[in-house]
Structure 1
Amino acid sequence: MASLQAEEDVVALETPASDVFIAPSINHEALLSGASYTHFSAVPPSLLPTPNPESPESSETSIPGPECVLGVDEAGRGPVLGPMVYGLLYLPLPLSDPLLRKTHHFDDSKVLTPAVRSNLMEKLCTPGTDLHAQCGWAVEVMSARDIGANMMKPTGTYNLNAQAMDATIALIEGVYKRGVNVKEIYIDTIGNPATYQKKLERVFPTAKVTVAKKADSLYPCVSAASVCAKVTRDAALEVLYESYVKKPDEDVEMDGTTVKAEVAEEAGWGSGYPSDARCTSWLKRNMDPIFGWGSECRFSWGTAKDMLDAKGAAAKVDWPVEEDDEMMRVTDFFSGEKEADVDELGSWFGRPVGTKVF
């Protein structure tokens, strides 16, 4: 009973707030088309390098901005519905704990209520707030379609850990390219922390890199990054779900009376996690017999595979495998026996035609 209650509590925390903040990181067109994308906030002016007064025309001699700490975390690694989002946040080193932890009480997004994390994200995006003035952030939205396609490649599987590593590196590189003076990097681990850290140290040799389990609880910048990732995913789920909500038909006239068409209410898909009964129920109700679901579903997940493979749940399609010239080796063109009595030079331009054909 206790374990069941704990699971229900987790699902409740993972479910988006009913009025989740729609951050600038929400790209409706990309989400609905199933595309992955990246969003970077503007760098706060106080964190940018400034021209050197002694050599104002030379960008190479500019004065670096204040030393910054940067955190990275993800949201949505396990769900069968919706994207996985990698979030990043950076700010001046001396402000990390007092601003994020003591003033605004950032914590691992999984222990914050949906409403609290939504409010924190809104403050971060609102000009005039201390968070907006001191912090920069970014997200990599990895669509369910791309995650599944990469994991199901027929050759050279691009697994989730490799995809996550590449997303992390791309985000951090994007911050460096924008001129931010990053000196410390903290990341919540995927896999073995030591292996992950050594690889990142080679990629970013000028920064102190720390990769740790539960980093989203230990380091304020990682906590804030987890909120950026989680609220972006929450809002993305809402945008994707809206495309399935049936719109009421236009009012119609019947015997001189205006009548509103009624539409049955959907129960929603909840958090998108397989352990969420609303999610699995939605998948069952909305499964196409041929195509399954749309680009919001991770077809490489066991939940989706099992439903599609269930007896009578989906149409079975056998794709014929035909041998063709593409399967031949280059050496096959040199090792075959020559045809007897063939004019090689003549057949290069076409076989000779006899008079019988006329």
Structure 2
Amino acid sequence: CLMGIDEAGRGPVLGPMVYGCMYCARSYHDTLATLSFADSKTLKEEQREELFESLKMNSSIGWEVDVICSKVLSAKMLKRYASVHYELQISTFFSRLKVFLIFRTKINLNEISHNSAMGLVRKAIDSGVLLTEVYIDTVGDPEKYRVKLTEKFPGIKFVVAKKADSLYPVVSGASIVAKVTRDRALRNWVFDETAQNMHMNTGSGYPGDPNTIQWLKDHKHPVFGFPTLVRFSWGTCTAYFKNGVEVTWESDEVDEDAAGYGSAKRQVTLSSLGFTGFKRKSEEIESSGKGRCKFFQARKLELIRKFQ
């Protein structure tokens, strides 16, 4: 079988990013080229909807989507997390347990995209689809991406290209699947929040759209930032946080002696995750460890910098 993979909604500051795939038998490829699939961006909304419904009814075509909501994108791209390593030291006179917290870095958008595409390939394989070739619109360097995919799935030929949605009909079909799915998700969006005067007159959702900028201004909250429709990790949002209410994060560590791992000068804190306006009041927290998370205080755990 052949598979095409494409995404919709990579650039907007609002809503989900959607990865879609379409696959069919190799023998159906020539027929696929006659079905009027094209890059979804060149088609009107009505045309995309019609083509999507037609491919859903076509028993010779399979498809799948991965909808990555804005909340998940924000969490992954702003994430700082620690993996915990334990070391039990035993001697003649005493035993001591050391706990090492090693901080990991955030996940960038390219990695999220790669993982989504590979997840679609894996899902198809697990469902019994015998994939031999996969065509995919590139994210980053095409050759590096191809090597990465080939190492993950060595039995499959991968073709990674720029503008693949306009070059290969199977990717054009995947583009339609992704775009229609995202458009429907936005049309049917239900806010988690219950604030008054919320609306979906968002414009295109792209940071440069005046209507989108106005929507962000209208829906900014001084404490919570924005509704979950917004991707907090986008640089567009940072400026809006500068005048936000100051917040003291309980888990921010202010003890410089236990301030991180390796050569870091201080521990990564919640207030440093892009929310530049959310300042902690460090002068109000003693360096005795009062600012540490209660979990660590209760267990008398602290970060160490030197290993013995």
TM-score, length-scaled by structure 1: 0.62
CA RMSD of aligned residues (A): 2.5
Which residue of structure 1 lines up, in the alignment, with residue 302 of structure 2? 327
Say if 2:40 is the partner of 1:112: no
Q: Structure 2, unaligned stretches of length 5 or more?
A: 81-103, 256-288, 290-299
Which residue of structure 2 lines up, in the alignment, with residue 316 of structure 1? 246
Aligned-partner residue type, residue 138 of structure 1: E
In the aligned structure 2, how far is the partner of 1:96 from the partner of 1:284?
Answer: 48
Question: Greater CA radius of gyration, 1 or 2?
Answer: 1
In the aligned structure 2, how far is the partner of 1:168 from the partner of 1:217?
Answer: 18
Say if 2:67 is the partner of 1:141: yes
Task: Map Cα deviations across residues 44-64 of structure 1 (whole Å, 9 max, x no partner).
Answer: xxxxxxxxxxxxxxxxxxxxx
Q: Structure 1, unaligned stretches of length 5 or more?
A: 1-67, 127-131, 248-263, 335-358
Say if 2:8 is the partner of 1:75: yes
Which residue of structure 1 lines up, in the alignment, with residue 17 of structure 2? 84
Which residue of structure 2 lines up, in the alignment, with residue 167 of structure 1? 116
- Equivalences for 1:155-194 in 2 at 5 Å? 155-194=104-143
Give the deviation of 1:185 after TM superposition.
0.6
In the aligned structure 1, how far is the partner of 2:74 from the partner of 2:109?
Answer: 9
In the aligned structure 1, how far is the partner of 2:224 from the partner of 2:205?
Answer: 19
- Equivalences for 1:201-280 in 2 at 5 Å? 201-240=150-189, 268-280=201-213
Structure 1 206/280 Cα, relative in aligned 2: closer, same or farther at 3 Å?
A: same
Which residue of structure 2 lines up, in the alignment, with residue 93 of structure 1? 26
In the aligned structure 2, how far is the partner of 1:211 from the partner of 1:198?
Answer: 10
Task: Map Cα deviations across residues 223-281 of structure 1 (whole Å, 9 max, x no partner).
Answer: 1001111111111111226778999xxxxxxxxxxxxxxxx895711221112222211
- Identity over aligned residues, as a percent? 40
Give the deviation of 1:124 after TM superposition.
2.2
Aligned-partner residue type, residue 106 of structure 1: F
Give the deviation of 1:87 after TM superposition.
0.5
In the aligned structure 2, how far is the partner of 1:241 from the partner of 1:70?
Answer: 32
The answer as to whether partners of 1:107 and 1:224 remain within 8 angstroms in 2 is yes
* More helix per residue: 1
Which residue of structure 1 lines up, in the alignment, with residue 78 of structure 2? 152
In the aligned structure 1, how far is the partner of 2:200 from the partner of 2:228?
Answer: 20
Which residue of structure 1 lines up, in the alignment, with residue 219 of structure 2? 286
Which residue of structure 2 lines up, in the alignment, with residue 45 of structure 1? none
In the aligned structure 1, how far is the partner of 2:163 from the partner of 2:227?
Answer: 33
Aligned residues between the structures: 240
Aligned-partner residue type, residue 245 of structure 2: A
TM-score, length-scaled by structure 2: 0.71
Task: Map Cα deviations across residues 97-132 of structure 1 (whole Å, 9 max, x no partner).
Answer: 433x32x21111111111111111122224xxxxx2
